[in-house]
Amino acid sequence: MKGDIKILNSFTFRAAIVLLALVLFTFSVIKARNFLYPITLGFLLAYLLFPLANLLEKNKFPRILSIIISIIVGVVIIGSVVMFFYSQLTILFDDFESLKKSANRNIETLQHTLSETFGITDNRVEVFLKKQVSTFFQFSNQSLQKLFSSTTGTIFRIGILPVYVFLFLYYRTKFAYFILKKVSKKHERLALNILRDISTVAAKYMGGVSIVVFILCILNSTGLMIIGVKYAILLGIISAIFNFIPYFGTLMGGAVPLLFVLLTSADPSTMAIRVVVLFVIIQFTENNILTPNIVGGYVDINPFFIIVGLIAGGMIWGIPGMLIVVPMLAIARIIFRNIPELEAYAFLLGPRGTQQHALSFKNIKKLVKYLKPNK
């Protein structure tokens, strides 16, 4: 009896310590948000530019020059995208008055339909929707410029990213040597394998996702143009950017043009159907062709932990947290997988163990065979 109480007390004490550590860690991460997320983003962007910097170094370029060229290329590409996006947004904001009138007209049509079809004469829904539309469309071109100029702190955190990227790339071997010096001789090979796996996964994931998003920008914009959606390029880019966020990204991205056509289109029901069909096709293409072949299986995390991680990352760090949580989970799984004591956690994070329940061709064939009536 005393032994059982001692074991229970020991378990309770350990559980309390772990819970306290988690609470303190979460509190610290939230409080240090503005300090930590630029460093983390810099770390991931460094892996995005690493292939180019490494290629230049292999071609006899000095490391400093290789890194500077890589950062300049990255800044030019991102800056060009941001400026193009800004120019498209400016066109949209210039048309806000006409869009506002279209939105109010469609809301009135919706209220009339509800009244005729279901006998709903209460106009509180119409008043509420019009109020929300009015609040949204109060933004002007001047407001957009304020949004992009933002605050000094935000500008500093964005501006320091290239510095972090440069330092991570420049000191990458030094960081690796530091880790190898901290581990014992018998664990050096294990540590080296972990570092190599992390480098491969981070670089492949960041590069692959960026390529997928670029392709989706073209597919989304082209598709929206074909079905006749106004501001197709802007909406296509916005929808594609959401795909940096796994699982929720496609849903969130498709909701933007869908909401837009419902509010501003002359024939909202027809246009909404077209948008839904388009994004079903694009989602199928992205899930079954683009992501498997470009990103591949480098991030082998099961959907449950990705979704939980996205929610937690959004609560703690907002959008930056949702962007970085998946590669961080992948890095954690690599570490767990290579340490025998933590291998169970790698199994928990990974997709293995549920193959027999997956929606695969083999399992569908078994189900069809089972449901087929015996003659």
For residue 67, count other CB atoms closer than 10 A to its CB. Answer: 26
Residue 154 tokens read as: 């935000």
Max mean pLDDT range (3-12, 91-100, 283-292, 305-314): 305-314
Q: Compute the CA torsion angle 95, 99, 101, 106 (nearest 10 deg).
A: 170
pLDDT of residue 229: 87
Residue that is written with structure tokens 């932990």 in the block: 305
Q: Which position has the higher pLDDT, 64 or 365?
A: 64
Residue that is written with structure tokens 């909406």 in the block: 235
Reply yes or no on whether the pLDDT at 288 is more than 70.
Answer: yes
Annotate 5-48 with DSSP letters as a single string: HHHHHHHHHHHHHHHHHHHHHHHHHHHTHHHHHHHHHHHHHHHH
Q: Which position has the higher pLDDT, 301 or 171?
A: 171
pLDDT of residue 73: 93
DSSP secondary structure code for residue 222 in this structure: H
Which tens digit of pLDDT belongs to each residue from 333-350?
888 888 888 888 888 888
Residue that is written with structure tokens 């071609």 in the block: 59
Q: Which helix (H) or strand (E) holds 274?
A: helix 268-285
What's the mean pLDDT in 258-279? Answer: 85
Reply yes or no on whether the pLDDT at 184 is more than 70.
Answer: yes
Reply yes or no on whether the pLDDT at 270 is more than 60.
Answer: yes
Reply yes or no on whether the pLDDT at 258 is more than 60.
Answer: yes
pLDDT of residue 71: 93
- Non-local CB neighbours of 170 within 8 Å, separated by 6+ positions: 63, 64, 67
pLDDT of residue 322: 81
Query: Which sequence spans correspond to the domains of the chain?
Result: 36-170
> Is residue 332 within 8 Å of residue 246, measured between CB atoms?
no
Alpha-carbon span 182 to 169, nearest angstrom: 21
Which tens digit of pLDDT belongs to each residue from 79-127?
888 888 888 877 777 777 777 777 777 777 766 666 666 666 666 666 6
| Mean pLDDT, all residues of the chain | 79
pLDDT of residue 167: 93
Closest among 67, 77, 86, 83 to 162, alpha carbons compared: 67
From first CA to last CA, the distance across the chain in angstroms is 63
Closest among 230, 250, 231 to 241, alpha carbons compared: 250
pLDDT of residue 339: 84
Which tens digit of pLDDT belongs to each residue from 131-172?
666 666 665 545 555 555 555 556 667 788 899 999 999 999
Q: Which position has the higher pLDDT, 182 or 371?
A: 182
The letter for the amino acid at 264 is T
Reply yes or no on whether the pLDDT at 327 is more than 80.
Answer: yes
pLDDT of residue 5: 55
pLDDT of residue 371: 67
Q: Compute the CA torsion angle 145, 45, 243, 358 (nearest 10 deg).
A: -160
Which tens digit of pLDDT belongs to each residue from 28-85?
888 888 888 889 889 888 988 988 999 999 998 999 999 999 999 999 988 888 888 8
SS3 state at 206:
helix
Alpha-carbon span 115 to 61, nearest angstrom: 72
Compute φ and ψ for 282, nearest 5 degrees. -65, -40
Residue 10 tokens read as: 């020991």
pLDDT of residue 117: 67
Residue 304: pLDDT band by 50, 70, 90 thresholds? Answer: confident
Residue 357: pLDDT band by 50, 70, 90 thresholds? Answer: low
What's the mean pLDDT in 297-324? Answer: 80
Closest among 127, 122, 92 to 107, alpha carbons compared: 127
Q: How far is CA 91 from CA 124, 144, 333, in A?
A: 32, 11, 45
> Is residue 243 within 8 Å of residue 250, measured between CB atoms?
yes
